[in-house]
Homo-oligomer: A and B are copies of this chain.
Amino acid sequence: MKPDYVSIFDTSLRDGEQAPGASMTSAEKLEVARALARLGVDVIEAGFPAASPDDLAAVQAIAAEVGQAPGAGRPQAEPPIICGLARCTRGDIDAAWQGVRGAQRPRIHTFLATSDLHLKHKLCLTREEMTAKAVEMVAYARSLCADVEFSPEDAGRSDPEFLYKVLAAVIKAGATTLNIPDTVGYTMPDEFGALIAGIIKHTPGARDVIISVHCHDDLGLAVANSLAGLRAGARQAEVTVNGIGERAGNASLEEVVMAIRTRGAKLGLQTGIDTTQLCRISKLVSRSTSYPVPPNKAIVGGNAFAHEAGIHQDGIIKNALTYEIMRPQDVGATHTMLVLGKHSGRAAFAKRLAELGYALEGDALLKAFHEFKKLADRKKSVQDADLIALASDERATVPELWALEHLQVMCGTTGLPTATVRLRDPDGKSRTHAAIGTGPVDASYKAIDAIVNLPVELLEFGISAVTEGIDALAEATVRVRHEEQRAAHGHGADTDIVVAAAKAYVASLNQVLSRQPSGPAQHPQKAGTPSEIST
């Protein structure tokens, strides 16, 4: 590997997915992993296998597919390294190994805090006990897997002298990558650069392993800190798409990569990323997590290359370099193109979906194609964004336990908004209910609640037009929480926003039900009497 090459370690599926409400289904994680492989990331942290059987299964699926054959379009010949996170315990490390061992290039990533604050208040360990545990667990991980990464959590607030000792000991025990996290996003770039430089200088064996940076954005400095660490000698950057992650999130992949690309000569760094895929993967992750990308987001925001002020437009017309340091096409920020029309066949439809990162098959493909034909009849031009919305809606991410068969709504400025809903239950029977609400969506949700009878708290509700023009598809996203579980979310796309909202709600309830430990057949359920009115 060239000395200036920076490995891009994407943790969207682990640290990103840890963000409140950003949870993805296994199918969504697999789709994002495929897109990350095509993008050219060197390492995919696919999850935290000890967290739950679902997490383990998702990591295994990614290791088996993306970790074996990354598919067409990947800039590198080798598949990405597939990494699983583990606390410093045998159980976690065993689970991580179960998760990643199916990959061609597996990695176990284990961590233990080194700051006195964490040792005293969270772990109740002395420095000596911490060191012994880290050494023992790194050696154990190494006995399973040739590629072991160790992270001293809260390194940014740890005593540097102690850090050097711990790191030297874990290198001896077999660690091949040392990741230095600024866990709480507290450091300034010069401090973080000095921390990395100090580690490389004072830790015996540090020059024989890869030093990695992992920065959080609590003070808006994650990208600057990552670059400072890389300039000080680190050669792996842990990042997430759109900067998702705990609290204010992680350093954003697209910003770190484009800073290196744009200022590579000054920084003396390069990456293996195909930057023209950045906008596409940003949209995929935004959709999968329901985290919006604001127009003023660097690199991938809708306005990152837009120029409204007359002065700037004038400059741009005279010479794009006056206000642009990157070209829109470098990051894939081209206008959505008309790709398919009403005469397009199923093969062309499936091919374009695959190019967009959606591998639909069988019934899901047929259903999406049917929806596409309906849309093409109503809408002059079907754009990529429409296709993505259809595919997101139709892909079988969770079992469709309940399905929306029929919805009819009356509403307006006067009168009582009323909705009649017919759902197909998990046994295939139709159940109908009508309800009155404060608006058409409230009425529909009340009718659905009366049928499904699963108490959830509605955390978030949003509707957006997917493409330009109001005759385009509307996409609804809802986030709900059942009891103390993790938030579930659902999408629905339709030209009718009330129908989209009802589809999204049913999808979110299906996600909650499919997570029930007793299995989907055992969910709480009470049939509504057909045509009964509730308020």
Q: Which residues of A contact B (CB under 8 A)?
A: 18-22, 51, 87, 117-118, 121-122, 154, 183-186, 188-189, 191, 217-225, 227-228, 242-249, 252, 255-256, 258-259, 262-263, 266-267, 291-299, 301, 303-312, 314-315, 318-319, 321-326, 378-379, 404-415, 417, 420, 437-442, 445, 457-465, 468-471, 474, 486, 494-499, 501
Alpha-carbon gap, A252 to B297, bound state (A)? 12
Alpha-carbon gap, A459 to B223, bound state (A)? 31
B223 touches A438 (CB 8 A): no
Alpha-carbon gap, A445 to B465, bound state (A)? 14
Alpha-carbon gap, A444 to B437, bound state (A)? 20
Alpha-carbon gap, A57 to B533, bound state (A)? 55
Alpha-carbon gap, A248 to B255, bound state (A)? 11
A185 touches B442 (CB 8 A): no
B409 touches A410 (CB 8 A): yes
CB distance from A158 to the nearest CB of B (A): 13
Alpha-carbon gap, A121 to B320, bound state (A)? 10
Neighbour of A499 across the interface among B188, B247, B439, CB < 8 A: B439
Residues of chain B within 8 A of A462, CB atoms compared: 462-465
B404 touches A408 (CB 8 A): no
Residues of chain B within 8 A of A408, CB atoms compared: 410-415
B414 touches A314 (CB 8 A): no
B470 touches A308 (CB 8 A): no
Alpha-carbon gap, A414 to B421, bound state (A)? 12
Neighbour of A293 across the interface among B258, B294, B437, B439, CB < 8 A: B294
Alpha-carbon gap, A498 to B411, bound state (A)? 8
Neighbour of A296 across the interface among B291, B295, B379, CB < 8 A: B291
Neighbour of A470 across the interface among B22, B295, B461, CB < 8 A: B461
Neighbour of A244 across the interface among B51, B249, B293, B296, CB < 8 A: B296
Q: Which residue of B lies closest to A314 (CB)?
A: B122
Alpha-carbon gap, A404 to B407, bound state (A)? 27
Alpha-carbon gap, A318 to B499, bound state (A)? 45
A319 touches B246 (CB 8 A): no
A248 touches B299 (CB 8 A): yes
A20 touches B218 (CB 8 A): no
B188 touches A227 (CB 8 A): yes
| CB contact under 8 A between A219 and B298, given known A246-B309, A246-B312 | yes
